[in-house]
């Protein structure tokens, strides 16, 4: 879906929630359509953002195109891998950026290939630094996010997701200042300040209905406790309402753990955020269906299962067996192995 078609559908209909007119297919709720602001999704199975370290020198490659095109389905939402808004050190090599003309030009055919399959594609915007910024650095970073958002739209993306999970953007002050019992609102405000200023600038640049925000209130890092993170997440969700952004994307568990935190609840975020709710973290097909059916979230993002099953929505529909993922090739630089060589059902010629 290009910019023109996005504009055409912008004002259509309100967000659908489980108690609205669309009747949920209770058993396969993931396959129920969903109106995500201007975007008419035909199912609820979202491709989660995943760094793959295959973009030599920060520039997308024809293999990047193939990877995303393989995972695009009509009316499906793909969120791209964390993409740098400026040149900076990263613990991962060969992650893409979207701050030079060369990068924007290289993203364009990738986005087109996804749109050719009638899917919706958001870029995940990322600054890889985790330390607290000075006032001057903060002002520069806000501008970098603003430019990267504009560049994303110029490359054809339908929108952007701001990466505030895993200790990026949110919570630096919290680690330094939080006390034993509860958080002062001034501490929360400080901890979310960078994130909210970036959201404000990005919304001003490309419009609220093209902006999502990801954070991870159930991930403990450094000294921040989960209870503090949840409290902070609720503060953030409430503050984000002011910007009318399209969705929040709440990560329930650490990306590297297989276990799903069953105690993680979406209720505080459901109750305090008025836009759409995407969640991720260890979901199986059955758990995703149950989560949508009970209204826990509007959309479920799948990481590792989507990485290893390019035709994941089709497999869920058919309740087909899944390819298992190979952790050893998550981040290697092969343009094929563990990247574009996971077979579809058709390629496996499996009869269900």
Residues annotated as part of the active site: 168
Q: How far is the CB of 272 from ligand FMN (least distance, A)?
A: 21
Q: How far is the CB of 250 from ligand FMN (least distance, A)?
A: 10
Calculate the alpha carbon distances from 259 to 32, 170, 252, 281 in Å.
27, 24, 11, 9
What is the chain's alpha carbon radius of gyration, rounded to the nearest angstrom? 19
Closest CA to 199 of 248, 166, 132: 248
Could you identify the residue written with the tokens 């006390």? 179
**Token pair for 38:** 């201007």
Q: How far is the CB of 282 from ligand FMN (least distance, A)?
A: 4
Collapse the DSSP code of 175 into the 3-class scheme (helix H, G, I; strand E, B; otherwise coil) and give the result.
helix
Q: How far is the CB of 248 from ligand FMN (least distance, A)?
A: 13
Collapse the DSSP code of 345 into the 3-class scheme (helix H, G, I; strand E, B; otherwise coil) and give the result.
helix
Give whichever of 122 and 302 is closer to ligand FMN, judged by the CB atom. 302
Q: How far is the CB of 58 from ligand FMN (least distance, A)?
A: 14
- Binding interface with ligand FMN (CB under 6 A): 48-51, 81-82, 124, 163, 165, 214, 251, 255, 280-283, 302-305, 330
For 161, phi and psi rounded to 5 degrees?
A: -110, 125
Give whichever of 255 and 276 is closer to ligand FMN, judged by the CB atom. 255
Give whichever of 49 and 159 is closer to ligand FMN, judged by the CB atom. 49
Closest CA to 45 of 318, 337, 235, 314: 314
Give whichever of 144 and 214 is closer to ligand FMN, judged by the CB atom. 214
Please give the DSSP secondary-structure letter assigned to residue 97. Answer: B
Q: How far is the CB of 306 from ligand FMN (least distance, A)?
A: 7
Classify each residue of 53-76 as buried b or exposed e, where b means 16 or more C-beta atoms within 10 Å of its C-beta: bbbeebbbbebbbbbbbbbbbebb
Q: Which residue is nearest to ligand FMN (CB)?
A: 303
CB 240 within 8 A of CB 202: no
Collapse the DSSP code of 250 into the 3-class scheme (helix H, G, I; strand E, B; otherwise coil) and give the result.
strand
Give whichever of 159 and 187 is closer to ligand FMN, judged by the CB atom. 159
Give 103-151 as a 3 state SS string: HHHHHHHHHHHHHHCCCEEEEEEECCCCCCCCHHHHHHHHHHHHHHHHH
Give whichever of 319 and 327 is closer to ligand FMN, judged by the CB atom. 327
Give whichever of 119 and 251 is closer to ligand FMN, judged by the CB atom. 251
Q: How far is the CB of 72 from ligand FMN (least distance, A)?
A: 17
CB 57 within 8 A of CB 90: no
**Token pair for 150:** 């504009």
Taking the C-alpha atoms of residue 156 and residue 278, their distance in angstroms, rounded to an integer, is 22
């Amino acid at each position: 879906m290009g910019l023109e078609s996005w504009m055409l559908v912008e004002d259509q209909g309100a967000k659908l929630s489980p108690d609205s007119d669309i009747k949920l297919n209770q058993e396969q709720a993931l396959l129920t359509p969903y109106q995500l602001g201007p975007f008419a999704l035909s199912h609820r199975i979202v491709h989660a953002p995943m760094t793959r370290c295959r973009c030599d020198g920060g520039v997308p490659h024809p293999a990047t195109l193939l990877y995303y095109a393989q995972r695009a389905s009509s009316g499906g939402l793909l969120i791209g891998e964390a993409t740098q808004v400026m040149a900076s050190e990263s613990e991962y090599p060969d992650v893409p950026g979207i701050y030079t003309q060369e990068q924007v030009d290289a993203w364009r055919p990738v986005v087109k290939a996804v749109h050719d399959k009638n899917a919706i594609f958001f870029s995940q915007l990322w600054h890889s630094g985790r330390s607290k910024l000075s006032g001057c650095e903060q002002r520069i970073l806000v501008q970098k996010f603003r430019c990267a958002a504009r560049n994303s739209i110029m490359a054809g993306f339908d929108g952007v997701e701001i990466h505030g999970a895993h200790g990026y953007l949110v919570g630096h002050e919290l680690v330094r200042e939080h006390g034993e019992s509860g958080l002062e609102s001034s501490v929360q405000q400080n901890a979310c300040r960078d994130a909210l200023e970036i959201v404000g600038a990005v919304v001003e640049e490309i419009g609220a209905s093209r902006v999502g925000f990801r954070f991870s209130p159930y991930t403990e890092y450094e000294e921040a406790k989960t209870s503090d993170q949840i409290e902070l997440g609720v503060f953030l969700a409430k503050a984000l309402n002011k910007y009318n952004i399209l969705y929040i994307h709440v990560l329930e568990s650490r990306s590297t753990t297989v276990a799903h935190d069953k105690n993680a609840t979406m209720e505080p975020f459901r109750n305090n955020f008025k836009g759409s709710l995407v969640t991720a973290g260890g979901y199986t097909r059955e758990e995703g269906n149950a989560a949508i059916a009970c209204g826990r979230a509007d959309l479920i993002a799948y990481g590792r299962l989507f990485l290893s099953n390019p035709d994941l929505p089709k497999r869920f529909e058919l309740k087909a067996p899944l390819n298992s993922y190979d952790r050893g090739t998550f981040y290697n630089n092969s343009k094929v192995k563990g990247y574009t060589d996971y077979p579809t059902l058709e390629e496996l010629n499996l009869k269900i």
